[in-house]
């Protein structure tokens, strides 16, 4: 007699009390379709719980709110002193929830289509100069003991590829394509992309892995940056500490150095040397060009200098 097929396990959700079935279904979709991490789920649940509480106080179910209720919630966030960027992030969670409801036929409309996002302040990414990055990488290589090879490889790869910290530490051992000068990256939502890297970055990464693999044991064998951590690979905290230590050695304020700063430096320096936003979007792994447009200030400065240098009336 054939054995019955095993029941499909439900994705693990954050601990919580009183999740509505619609919110729970939405969170399960994030896990099943987008591969959302536990921290991401917790953030979405917190935002939805906050809105659900606001709606319930007005006698409205979380899945049945209208545009006016949503506007009232956004006004409450602003009145509570939340920054525009935090308001926009929370509203994004609510937008995605209502798009899910409309897609599933729970409701016929999407009230978030009528909402305006909070106006975000224009701000430039905090980037290091090209000279500072070179000094930082050299200082990383000079760190004592076995920290030097890992720090130098990580700093070089972050800067020459624009990887996120989470992408770098989770690179598998086979991520570096032999003879191609490319690294295969699995980004947000499980989407894969190929990013060009320098020959020096590839050599540093391979050398660092060879040095660390034996000490990491079998668990670390599958990672490009193996370690003795429970995950088997370098942790975000260890990566950040290595960069801070390299910054101190280089004479750079450690508060100015992080994996994210090196990602911003990669983008800013590329644009400053003539790259276009669409290419940068692909390299950074942004799903929407609007996310990449934070760097338009860099483009504006370059175009202004171009006009001032070459236009006949600029003098």
Q: How far apart are CA 266 and CA 127, in angstroms?
A: 8
The active-site residue out of 71, 126, 186, 188 is 188
188 is catalytic: yes
Catalytic (active site) residue 263: yes
Helices (H), the chain: 21-34, 38-56, 67-79, 84-103, 130-141, 147-161, 165-169, 199-216, 236-250, 259-272, 277-284, 289-292, 296-310
Three-state secondary structure call for residue 58 = coil
Which candidate in 22, 63, 269, 295 is catalytic? 295
- Tokens read off for 234: 């370098």
Residue 44 designated active-site: no
From 164, 202, 209, 264, active-site residue: 164
For the chain, the residue count is 315
CA distances for 250 relative to 62, 104, 157, angstroms: 52, 54, 18
**104/31 Cα distance (integer angstroms):** 16
Catalytic entry in 209, 233, 269, 286? 286
The candidate with the shortest Cα–Cα distance to 57, out of 41, 38, 73, 35, is: 73
> Is 233 among the catalytic positions?
no
The answer to whether 175 and 185 have CB atoms below 8 angstroms apart is yes
Show which residues are catalytic.
164, 188, 260, 263, 286, 295
């Amino acid at each position: 007699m054939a054995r019955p097929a095993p029941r499909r396990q439900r994705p693990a959700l954050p601990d919580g009390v009183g999740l509505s079935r619609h919110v729970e279904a939405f969170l399960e979709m994030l896990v099943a379709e987008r591969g959302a991490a536990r921290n991401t789920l917790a953030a979405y649940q917190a935002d939805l719980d906050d809105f659900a509480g606001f709606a319930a106080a007005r006698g409205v179910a979380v899945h049945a709110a209208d545009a006016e209720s949503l506007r009232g919630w956004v006004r409450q966030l602003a009145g509570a002193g939340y920054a525009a960027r935090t308001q926009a992030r929370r509203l994004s969670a609510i937008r995605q929830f209502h798009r899910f409801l409309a897609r599933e036929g729970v409701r016929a409309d999407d009230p978030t289509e009528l909402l305006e996002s909070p106006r975000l302040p224009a701000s430039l990414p905090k980037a290091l100069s090209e000279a500072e990055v070179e000094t930082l990488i050299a200082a990383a290589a000079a760190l004592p003991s076995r920290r030097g090879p890992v720090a130098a490889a990580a700093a070089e790869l972050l800067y020459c590829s624009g990887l996120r910290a989470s992408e770098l530490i989770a690179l598998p051992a086979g991520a570096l394509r032999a003879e191609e000068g490319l690294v295969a990256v699995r980004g947000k939502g499980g989407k894969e992309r190929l990013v060009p890297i320098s020959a020096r970055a590839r050599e540093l990464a391979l050398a660092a892995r060879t040095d660390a693999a034996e000490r990491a044991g079998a668990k670390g064998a599958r990672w490009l940056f193996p370690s003795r951590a429970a995950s088997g690979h370098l942790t975000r905290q260890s990566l950040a500490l290595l960069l801070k230590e390299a910054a101190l050695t280089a004479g750079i304020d450690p508060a100015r150095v992080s994996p994210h700063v090196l990602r911003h430096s990669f983008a800013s320096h590329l644009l400053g040397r003539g790259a276009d936003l669409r290419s940068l979007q692909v390299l950074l792994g942004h799903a929407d060009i609007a996310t990449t447009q934070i760097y338009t200030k860099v483009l504006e400065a370059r175009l202004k200098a171009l006009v001032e240098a070459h236009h006949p009336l600029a003098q």
